[in-house]
Amino acid sequence: MSPAFRTIALIGKYKSPEIAESLMILAAFLKSRGIGVLVEEGTAALVGENGYPVASYAAIGERADLAIVLGGDGSMLTAARRLAASDVPLVGVNQGRLGFMTDLAQDSMLDGVADLLDGKFQSEQRFLLDATVHRGGEVMFDTQALNDVVVNKGDLGRMIEFAVSVDGEFIYNQRSDGLIIATPTGSTAYALSANGPILHPAVPGIALVPLCPHALSNRPITVSDASRIEIVIHAPHRARVHADGQEKFELETADRVCVARSARSIRFLHPLGYSYFAMLREKLHWSETLRPY
């Protein structure tokens, strides 16, 4: 039995019964190695428990030494936020598309997990963002995000106007479709598609990336991860705030959205030899051989 991982939780992609076979193969492999297996309750409801103990995220946080997520980046985001308070490390088996956070390929899953059990891995911390919405002196919404907090236009589809401050200093008024506030982890997600900068995970920064700004001089900027960012919605606009594209809250005029680095972080385990730049080359198709005309 691995001394580091005595109990491992398995978490499957949301509403994806096709992961059942891979999940049960992995569960049987872990059991053969003397590892206790927990199946996340939503996953068990979808694919069946097959005799393995079922656990809520709260129970996983208390009982598991590691969580393996079979899915894409969205699945990793959900697991990260739900387990942030427990310091349970995460490993991802890519069952999605790009998979910036899911290192293990499905066809070599067992070999990769075997290496982890044998202690062949490297650990990396990723910080989260705390986001709150204040209205008339009350906190109306409180959440966390691993990738990004996004303020954007609502159902009407018109540009919104808002003020942005950093550490109490007014930065600018902006008229746009919204603003992405991204961690280094999230810099390769929504922020990347909006022409934001790619931040290496070791960079202690937060990217502010405008969405289709009315003024072309509104450019992405990166501020310190110790900064407190505040967005105030101008009259007569309504908007929304999203956390990792999975939680949302409807904003009204004069609402204040406050975003800052969380005291909590997430620990990812990578295979030995993992390289962030090699991952970017693969996922973004950098350095492909040029074909002659």
225 catalytically annotated: no
The angle at the Cα of 88, spanning 141 to 122, to the nearest 5 degrees, equals 120
Catalytic residue among 65, 73, 167, 255: 73
What is the three-state SS of the chain? CCCCCCEEEEEECCCCHHHHHHHHHHHHHHHHCCCEEEEEHHHHHHHCCCCCCEECHHHHHHHCCEEEEEECHHHHHHHHHHHCCCCCCEEEEECCCCCCCCCEEHHHHHHHHHHHHCCCEEEEEEEEEEEEEEECCEEEEEEEECCEEEEEECCCCCCEEEEEEECCEEEEEEEECEEEEECCHHHHCHHHHCCCCCCCCCCCEEEEEEECCCCCCCCCEEEECCCEEEEEECCCCCEEEEECCCEEEEECCCCEEEEEEEEEEEEEEEECCCCHHHHHHHHCCCCCCCCCC
What's the CA gap between 12 and 10, in Å, rounded? 7
Nearest Cα neighbor of 63 from 11, 23, 10, 9 is: 9
Q: Enter the tokens of residue 141.
A: 């919404």
Return the residue matching tokens 């991952």: 279
Q: Which of 219, 132, 239 is nearest to 177 (CA)?
A: 239
Q: Which are the catalytic amino acids?
A: 73
